[in-house]
Amino acid sequence: MKKIKVLIVLLLSCLFIIGCANQRILERIGLVTLVGYDVAEENKVTATSVIRQINPELQSKVEVQSETESTSKGTRVKVDMKTSKKLAAGQMRVLLFGEDLAKKGIEEAIHTTMMNNEISTSIYLAVVKGSSKSLLEYPYKDVTDVGQHIYNLIDHNIKQQHTVSSTLHEVVRDNYSEVRNFALPILHKKGEFIEIDGVAFFSHGKMVGSLPAGDNFYILMMQDNFKESTLELVLDGESIDASKFQEKQLQIAVDSVKTKRSIKVVDPELNEFDLNIDFKCRLLEINSLVPINDPKLVEKMEKAVNQKIENEVSRILEYSQEINSDIYGFGEQYRAHVRGGKLTDQKWREKFREMKVNINVDVEIIRNGVFE
């Protein structure tokens, strides 16, 4: 009995003497859902935050605030002074970088974000063509919450494998890895809309190049095994039996069913790799005149698609070798399979530039819809 009394007294005294933890009641904080960083003069950064606030009258309101300071925390303090509610970054979902900043290097910003325990590692990163401030501050007609809009835009495109996956975790993983680089999707404001407009290649935290959105498919195909994503191809009309189909160009669309990608180190001495892509797809769209029930024709078409993909892949690979950004994992594979390679950052950069890749694409059309 006595013991329990002592316990209760102690517990209660703890309760009142030490007090309670810092409250962060949901509707009394401003939720930062998106932050965009831009370069400003004199080593300073401009941070633009999209803040969702709940007001009793307006139900919910989205505010865009931007401030310039030399550290990102400094900008947050400044923004805090302009908002009616305490800001909290725990619900942040997207981090944007202006193109100029990306070219200057985003390593510091990533490091700051990683250090903050409030922020999840599943947030998305992206580069903005132009400045993120102008992208965020524009009053879009159909978008009420620009933060959520951009998050959903990136999220569903990554899930559908229309663009490279760019969670903070993946970026950090590849950034600190010595043998791999990362890529981010590029966002672009086009009139009243925001669209994903390509892929930015990074090397050592700096943006070194970019490719248009049309190449996404091939990049993803080289990065990993993937499941969905649609490809539109323009084949040479001659690749198909000319007697039945006379036009010069044949446009088809295929949808990946199952794709297997594998990288093999053929010869570490000669710096030679095999890139095998086993592409099983289904036909979505084709000119109605083409008789797709003809096995020979299908085979021909497969070959043509093969050729086309091979060309594109080797073009993209050449480009990334030129800018020296290994976002595909050749280095990882090299390190995994070559013993005692002791691949350092510098060494791999040199090797990657000079490596030779044999691209083998094997396309197989396994389904063609319900109507021939």
Partner 1 sequence: MFRGPKKNVTNTNEQQNKKEPDKVPIPPSQTEFLSKLKETIHSPADLVVKYISETVTITFLDFLIDGKTLNEQILPTLEKVINTSPKVIKESLLIAEVDLVAELNQGILEMLIGAVLIHVEGHSELVIAKISSYQSRGLSAPENESQVIGSQVGFNENIATNISLIRRYITNPNLCNEKFTVGKDTRTSLSVLYIDGIAAEEHVNTVRQRISDLDILDLLDSAVLSELIDDNSISMFPQFLLTERPDRFCDGLLSGKVGIVVNGSSMAILCPYSFIEFFQSREDQNLRWPIATFIRLLRFSAILISIFFTPIYVAALTFHYEVIPQPLLVPLSESRAIVPFPPIVEALVLELIIELLREAGARLPTKVGQTIGIVGGIVLGTAAVQAGITSNILIIIIALCALSSFTTPNYLMGNVIRILRFPVIILAGFWGFLGIMLAFCFIMIHLLRQSSLGAPYMAPIYPPRWKDWSDSFVRLPLPLIRRQSVNSRETHTIQNTNDSFAKEEKVIE
Partner 2 sequence: MKSALQISNDQKISSSLFFFVVTAAQIGVGIHGFQRVVVKNAGNDAWISVILASLFAHIVVFIMIRTLALYPSNDLYGIHLDIFGKYFGGILNFTYVLYCTFAFYSVIRNYIEVINTWVFPNLSQSFIAAALLILVIYAFTGGLRVLVGVCFFSFMTGLWILIILFMPLEYAHYNHILPILGNDLKSIFKGAYSMTFTIVGFEIINTLYPFAKEKKKVQKYVHLALLFTLFIYLSVILVSLVYFSEAQIERTLWATLTLFTVIKLPFIERVEIIIICFWMIIILPNLCLFSWAAYRGVKRFKSINETTFIWIFSIFIFFANIPIQTRTEIDQMNNFFAKIAFYIVFIYPFLLYIMASLKSVLRKGGSKE
Residues that bind partner 2 in the complex, under the rule CB under 8 A:
3, 7, 10-11, 14, 18-19, 21-22, 90, 117, 120-122, 167, 169-170, 172-174, 176-178, 180, 329, 332-333, 335-340
Please name which of 236, 249, 224, 220 lies closest in space to residue 313, comparing C-alpha atoms. Answer: 220
Q: Considering the rule CB under 8 A, would residue 90 count as an interface residue with partner 1?
A: yes
Report how far residue 364's alpha carbon sits from residue 194's, in angstroms, rounded to the nearest whole number: 35
For residues 65, 69, 72, 78, the Cα torsion angle rounded to the nearest 10 degrees is -50
Least separation in angstroms between residue 144's CB and partner 1 is: 11
Helical H segments across the chain, by residue range: 2-13, 72-80, 99-104, 107-115, 132-137, 146-159, 168-176, 216-223, 295-323, 330-337, 345-354
Task: Pick one of 68, 112, 120, 324: the residue that binds partner 1 (CB under 8 A).
Answer: 120
Residue type, 167: T
Cα separations in angstroms, 159 against 20, 47, 72, 225:
41, 28, 30, 14
Nearer to partner 1, 122 or 262 (CB): 122
Please name which of 225, 213, 228 lies closest in space to residue 316, comparing C-alpha atoms. Answer: 213
Nearer to partner 1, 54 or 213 (CB): 54
Nearer to partner 2, 125 or 301 (CB): 125
Nearer to partner 1, 91 or 112 (CB): 91
Residues 131-170 that bind partner 1 (CB under 8 A): 148, 151
Q: Considering the rule CB under 8 A, would residue 25 count as an interface residue with partner 1?
A: yes
- Residue 173's binding partner among partner 1, partner 2, none (Cβ under 5 to 8 angstroms by kind) is partner 2
Residues 1-20 that bind partner 1 (CB under 8 A): 1, 4, 15, 20
Q: Identify the helix (H) or strand (E) that includes residue 236.
A: strand 230-236
Q: How many residues bind partner 1 (CB under 8 A)?
A: 27
Least separation in angstroms between residue 96's CB and partner 1 is: 17
CB 139 within 8 A of CB 83: no
Report how far residue 72's alpha carbon sits from residue 74's, in angstroms, rounded to the nearest whole number: 5
Q: Which two tokens stand for residue 109?
A: 């910003």
Nearer to partner 2, 128 or 172 (CB): 172
- Residue 251's binding partner among partner 2, partner 1, none (Cβ under 5 to 8 angstroms by kind) is none
Report how far residue 273's alpha carbon sits from residue 318's, in angstroms, rounded to the nearest whole number: 14
Q: Considering the rule CB under 8 A, would residue 242 count as an interface residue with partner 1?
A: no
Residues of this chain that bind partner 1 (CB under 8 A): 1, 4, 15, 20-27, 29, 31, 52, 54-56, 59-60, 88, 90-91, 93, 118, 120, 148, 151
